[in-house]
Chain A
Amino acid sequence: MNTTTQLSDSALVSLYIAGNESAFEQLVNRHKNKVYTTILVIVKDSYTAEDLMQDAFVKAIHTMKSGRYNEEGKFSSWICRIAHNLAIDHFRKEKRSPMITLEDGNSVFNNMSFSEDSAESLQVKEDTHARLRELIQALPQTQREVLMMRHYAEMSFQEIADATGVSINTALGRMRYALINLRKKMLKNNIAYDKNLYSE
């Protein structure tokens, strides 16, 4: 049994800096989906998102290995911020709307409960999630930013307020509008929004 499984991110970072590669593997596996999704929502292309995810972790590796990692913040917020910045840089450089790449089958999702679903149910869920990511991408920038920071980078609303230079009430309001807008768009686009579909 791997003894690093239940350790905090901070402890895993310390172990990694001390040379424990398995601690780094835990960190990557713990955060890869959030980092990848943070990028994918912006660039929309799965291959580009994988490239940028690798770049984000490589930056993190160099920062940690060189002793420049600041332990004050959360690892998840930090790595997602690196990912977000790389994705935005890429998007600006492209100066065009990226092509949407169709994602292949089960590799898109890690949720083990999906394995018991029928192929049709899997497809419905997959379509729903892909369309939801497109709707997130279409949100106003300030709303999308708060949603990504809170939901995927796990920053608190106070941390988001500090990072974006607004009051906590403004950050909360933006999150509220982001979720309301998503719900409206989902209803308008007839996206599956069914309790039974998502129940255990």
Chain B
Amino acid sequence: MIKTSTQNELIQYVYDELPEEACTQLEAALMQDMELAEGCSELLMIQQLLDEAAAAPRKCAVDNILNYSKSLSLQS
């Protein structure tokens, strides 16, 4: 059973927010604890999926924004 504090550190670790010292300790623990390593691997995979699930708007919507900004610049 992974402790809640360690699970929270795992979340900070995959999002690059864990302080360096704690990071070194966690990485050492990951080498020893298979359950922890699997948990980390799962988090990284979900994180990657979330990255890839970002959708993109159509170009025309982006062009509208840029054109609006340019039109304001021309007015001023």
Contacts and interface: CB of A to CB of B under 8 A. Distances in A.
Interface of B: 4, 7-8, 10-12, 15, 17, 42-43, 45-58, 61-62, 64-66, 68-70, 72-73, 76
B66 A198 contact: no
Interface in A60-95: 61, 65
A195 interface: yes
B39 to A, nearest CB: 10
Contacts of B73: 19, 21
Contacts of B66: 21, 24-25, 28
Given A53-B65, A61-B68, A173-B4, 14 more contacts: A32-B62, A33-B55, A36-B55, A36-B56, A40-B55, A61-B65, A125-B52, A132-B50, A133-B55, A151-B50, A157-B11, A175-B11, A179-B46, A193-B45
A118 interface: no
Given A19-B73, A175-B11, A49 B57 contact: yes
Interface of A: 19, 21, 24-25, 28-29, 32-34, 36-37, 40, 46, 49-51, 53-54, 57-58, 61, 65, 103, 107-111, 125, 128-129, 132-133, 136, 147, 150-152, 156-157, 169, 172-173, 175-176, 179, 182-183, 186, 193, 195, 198
A129 B55 contact: yes
A136 B72 CA distance: 37
Contacts, number: 112
Contacts of B56: 32-33, 36, 107-110
Contacts of A175: 11
Contacts of B72: 61, 65
**Per DSSP, are chain A's interface residues mostly helix, strand or loop, or mixed?**
helix
Contacts of A111: 52
A157 B58 contact: no
A129 B53 contact: yes
A183 to B, nearest CB: 6
Given A54-B61, A157-B12, A173-B4, A198 B69 contact: no
B45 A172 contact: no
Contacts of A32: 56-57, 62
B52 A37 contact: no
Contacts of B64: 54
Contacts of A107: 56, 58
B55 A24 contact: no
Contacts of B50: 132, 136, 147, 151
Nearest to A173: B8
